[in-house]
Amino acid sequence: MTGIKARRANGGQIELEEKGNAMYASDVAQRHFSAAIDDAEASGLGHEAVCRALLGLVISKYLETRSVADIQAELRFVAENCDPDTDFMFMRP
């Protein structure tokens, strides 16, 4: 069994430490997401159905520990800020 410990890295991103190696949560998610997309396309399902199914699974998992309003706010934020061509203004402390 491998020990994994989560901690906040620079910039607030979650970093998983595994036997002295650093692994980001986004790396884990990307690896599994890519595998799911590859499996779906190999099965002739296409990526749209898998993306919808994964989103449903994420929301179900969130509902175990978060309120509906909190999840809705997060989804709204992602939806309102998903344009890759939009510049975002950040406030500095």
pTM: 0.65
Q: What is the pLDDT of residue 84?
A: 85
| CA 10, 23, 75, 67 torsion-angle sign | negative
Number of H helices and E strands in the chain, helices first, is 3, 3
pLDDT digit string (tens) for 6-19? 555 555 555 555 55
Does residue 85 have a pLDDT over 50?
yes
Q: How confident is the model at residue 89 (pLDDT cuts 50, 70, 90)?
A: low
Give the lowest-confidence range in 20-24, 68-72, 88-92.
88-92
pLDDT digit string (tens) for 25-47? 999 999 999 999 999 999 999 89
Contact 17, 7 (CB under 8 A): yes
2 Cβ contact list (under 8 Å, min separation 6): 18, 19
Q: What is the DSSP string of 52-85?
A: HHHHHHHHHHHHTTS-HHHHHHHHHHHHHT--TT
Q: What is the pLDDT of residue 12?
A: 54
Tokens of 23: 């692994």
